[in-house]
Every structure is written in structure tokens, then in C-alpha cells.
Amino acid sequence: MHPEHPAPDPGSVLRLADIGEDAPRSLLARFGLMLAPVADGEPIPGSFWGDEEAGIIGTTVYARGDTPVHSLLHEAGHLIVLPAERRAGVHTDATDSVEEEDATCYLQIVLADALPGVGRDRLMADMDAWGYTFRLGSSRAWFERDAENARRFLLDRGLPVDLRG
């Protein structure tokens, strides 16, 4: 965190319950993924971080109403950047390289533009509030000035780098 930025409140991030399941379900389906809702208070299958963080198993993203939207999009992004033949074997941890992790962070920002009431600006603010760290101090600075490798990774695989317009 940069000293000139106040400490953000992770409790203020958008949650799945705030936006509903329909738009995320439709977005994930565009990439051959499924959204599996998890009942309140139940553990989230395939969650790497536990608590309210989204989980992944195969082509399914698991989330509860209290799951942050940024977490849902991040885990979905992990599956999207993987070749289809690798998705089936995924359980909880999908990353095997820094390049994939960077591409996933970039893609989650792009995917936010496809969700009504979310968008990249809100998602980047939520990422910063949650504690994602980037070399330039914020997700926006990274996305706009330091993410060419992630953008190239996505383009080389025919994945979207912008969903606006």
C-alpha cells in the first residue's frame, strides 16, 4: 500500500449477493464455466484462501452470497486462461506461473465490465481494498501502465482484453 493512500475497508467490497447470480452465471457460461452457489455459512468447495473466497473445481466456480465479486472473477479468470484440457484437473489451485497469475488479474478487471453495477473502476477499487498488491502501488496503475505482459498473454490465447463497447 502506498503511504499517500488511506487504508481501505475490505468490508466495503461488492459481494455476489449485491449483484445477484444471473449476470455472473451468464458471463461464466460464455467461457464454458458454471457458477455453483453455496449456501450461507457452508464451506466453499475448492477455495484456496477459505472463508468467503470463491473456489474452483474443474469448470465450476463456487461462491456464496458473501463472496466478493473480485474473488469470483479472479477464480473464474484462472480457469479461463487455462487450456480446456487442463481445466478438468483443476481443484483449488490453478496457477502454475507468474504469467498466468498476471493474466488472471488483468482478465478479472476486464470481465468486471460485463457485470452490470460492477465495471473495472469498482473492481480495481475493491482489489485495492482487499489487499491485492502491485509494483506500482495500485491495481489501476498496474493495469494501465505495467500489465503489457498480461495483456499479451491473453491476446496470444485469443482471450478478451476489453469487453467494453
Range of the structural domain that residue 64 is part of: 14-156
DSSP letter for each residue of 81-112: HS-HHHHTT-BS----SHHHHHHHHHHHHHHH
**Is residue 25 one of the residues assigned to a domain?**
yes
**Is residue 9 one of the residues assigned to a domain?**
no
What is the tally of structural domains in the chain? 1
Backbone angles phi, psi at 89, to 5 degrees: -90, 0
**Is residue 50 one of the residues assigned to a domain?**
yes
**Is residue 165 one of the residues assigned to a domain?**
no
**Is residue 69 one of the residues assigned to a domain?**
yes
**Is residue 94 one of the residues assigned to a domain?**
yes
Asked if residue 131 lies in contact with residue 112, where contact means CB atoms within 8 angstroms, the answer is no
Query: What is the mean pLDDT, run by run of 10 residues, along the chain of 165 residues?
Result: 43 94 98 97 94 96 98 97 90 88 96 97 95 90 96 96 87
**Is residue 91 one of the residues assigned to a domain?**
yes
**Is residue 134 one of the residues assigned to a domain?**
yes
pLDDT attached to residue 2: 32
